[in-house]
Amino acid sequence: MLFLTQLFGSTLKSSKCLVNAATTNLECVRYASKKSMGSTRNSPITRRPKHRGWRVQDGHYVQERTILATQLRPRFHPGLYVGFGKNGTLYALEKGKVVVTCEKINPNLERTWSRLNYADRVNSVIYKKHFNIIPEPQHDKFVLIDIL
């Protein structure tokens, strides 16, 4: 019995063996040898990118309702025949050729969207890119229909 307790004591260094010499029952208590790993709060986030930016380059022909640019902050502004979505998306209202110009803007600071983005640039000159659509010329063949 004594040999058995020495064997357990030498192999399990982080163990405490409790042996009663009068009885043959052997109780062994083993303590943790490593700190357990808990869950971490700053695990790597694997989100898919949004791919914001230009969708159509200058000089390309587009159909109506084609997305021209997506944005989070106002980098691009709508020009002729270009719509502005509530999430900042620019889209074509007519089919035609895309022309990108750089123009000076005068933001209306009474609007909350303009105040949010341009409040710190009140007395400065601001130049932004504008997307414009030049519509295709219509055909010159018109037919009048008589109303009966």
For residue 132, what pLDDT is reported?
97
Q: What is the mean pLDDT of the chain?
A: 81
When mean pLDDT is compared across 3-7, 12-16, 98-102, 112-116, the lowest value belongs to 12-16
Q: How is the beta sheet containing 53-54 ordered, strand by strand?
A: 53-54, 67-70, 90-92, 82-84
For residue 37, what pLDDT is reported?
66
Q: Read off the pLDDT of residues 10-60 as tens digits, 9 standing for 90 and up.
A: 655 554 555 555 555 666 677 767 666 666 677 777 888 889 999 999 999
Residue 101 near residue 47 (C-beta atoms within 8 A): no
What own/partner pairs with CB < 8 Å and gap ≥ 24 does 9-13 have? Answer: none
Structure tokens at 41: 């709060």
Residue 18: strand pairing partners: 27
